[in-house]
Amino acid sequence: MAYENIQVSREGPIATITVNRPKALNALNSATLRELLQAVREAADSSRALILTGAGDKAFVAGADISEMAPMTPWSAREFSELGHVLTAMLEDIPCATIAAVNGYALGGGCELALMCDMIIAGDTARFGQPEVNLGIIPGAGGTQRWPRTAGKYVAMETVLTGAPITASRAHELGIANKVVPAEMTVAIAQRVARQLAEKAPLALRMAKEAVLKAFEAPLAEGLMSERKSFYFLFSTDDQKEGMRAFLEKRKAVFKGR
Ligand code: CAA
């Protein structure tokens, strides 16, 4: 499918989606959100790892598009927010691993998008923040809920109430970024990580992701039960046989996702 606001590229089992509106610092208007939904849906069916990034060297995504939001009524804002929530929920649900390659500003909806990925690789010029209070609104794509779950109450309050962005190194200290890398290497390093993830047993990767995410929602006993079920289920797969046989035969496993 041809897209106007994003670019999709593929290297073997790895898909890269680049938000491509550099003149607006890759801000997300509803057309871009719809294209992202379609591209993520397609990647879910055909990829083992997905990288999300922004075009240019200044921004990952500088938030929702303010010029589109400015004239919105509460009802149209509700629809817009719903679109953001559908996208972020889909990113969380898709079976392949997702990596945000944050190469500059990740603000507002852009920060929320990054926080919905399984891993975040930040360029050293990246800035993360929720500046919505400066616009008279609050985060609308999950920020008020994801920040406390990721960084705790006080960091969340500081970020959401002050609207002040934090640097890549502070994000790393807070456990929001997995790695901080030289800005120009952000996508290349995300690709390196994606290649490593794409080599893992796909069903195990999918269930590992589900199990970790469960910890944010379920009581401990329920999370542990769910982990145990996935653990023993995986012993019914060809990939478990292959993975363990390959270890014992001192060779690299070839996983088929079955
Ligand atoms: N929406 C629309 N356009 C945006 C934008 C956004 N979120 N962010 C930047 N742009 C546009 C600017 O209007 C400007 O366009 P023109 O050249 O046509 O004037 C262009 O991108 C370059 O931006 P600046 O000139 O402002 O660049 P800068 O280097 O001086 O500042 C910045 C960079 C600090 C990121 C600044 O652009 C900024 O503060 N942007 C807004 C960030 C923001 O508030 N994001 C949250 C949006 S609300 C939201 O996301 C709600 C939600 O949760 C869903």
- Residue pLDDT, tens place only, 29-70: 999 999 999 999 999 888 999 999 999 999 999 999 999 999
* Residues sharing a CB contact under 8 Å with residue 155, sequence separation 6 or more, in sequence order: 147, 174
Q: What is the rounded distance in angstroms from the CA atom of residue 180 to the CA atom of residue 258?
A: 35
Q: What is the rounded distance in angstroms from the CA atom of residue 182 to the CA atom of residue 187?
A: 10
> Which range, of 21-25, 28-32, 84-88, averages the lowest pLDDT?
84-88
- Ligand 1 pocket test: pick from 19, 57, 60, 66 the residue with the most ligand atoms within 8 Å of its Cβ: 66
- Residue pLDDT, tens place only, 178-230: 999 999 999 999 999 999 999 999 999 999 999 999 999 899 999 999 999 99
Rg (CA), the chain: 19
With pLDDT > 70 as the criterion, what percentage of the chain qualifies?
Answer: 100
On the CB side of 247, CA atoms within 13 Å amount to 5
Residues in the ligand 1 pocket, defined by CB under 6 Å: 24-25, 27, 62-67, 84, 105, 107-109, 112, 131-132, 135, 139-141, 143
Number of H helices, E strands in the chain: 11, 10
159 token code pair: 């970020």
- Ligand 1 pocket test: pick from 19, 25, 66 the residue with the most ligand atoms within 8 Å of its Cβ: 25
Report which of 54, 56, 146 is spatially closest to residue 102, judged by C-alpha positions.
54
